[in-house]
Chains A and B, each alone.
Chain A
Amino acid sequence: GAVVSQHPSWVICKSGTSVKIECRSLDFQATTMFWYRQFPKQSLMLMATSNEGSKATYEQGVEKDKFLINHASLTLSTLTVTSAHPEDSSFYICSARDYGELFFGEGSRLTVL
Chain B
Amino acid sequence: QKEVEQDPGPLSVPEGAIVSLNCTYSNSAFQYFMWYRQYSRKGPELLMYTYSSGNKEDGRFTAQVDKSSKYISLFIRDSQPSDSATYLCAMMKETSGSRLTFGEGTQLTVNP
Contacts and interface: CB of A to CB of B under 8 A. Distances in A.
Q: Dominant SS at the B interface? A: loop
A44 B104 CA distance: 8
Contacts, number: 50
Interface string B65-84: 00000000000000000000
A44 B105 CA distance: 9
Interface string A78-113: 000000000000010101010001111111010000
Given A91-B41, A102-B46, A107-B43, A43 B97 contact: no
B47 to A, nearest CB: 12
Interface size on A, as a range, is: 20 to 34
A75 interface: no
A43 B43 contact: no
A43 B101 CA distance: 9
A91 to B, nearest CB: 7
Interface of A: 4, 6, 32, 34, 41-46, 49, 91, 93, 95, 97, 101-107, 109
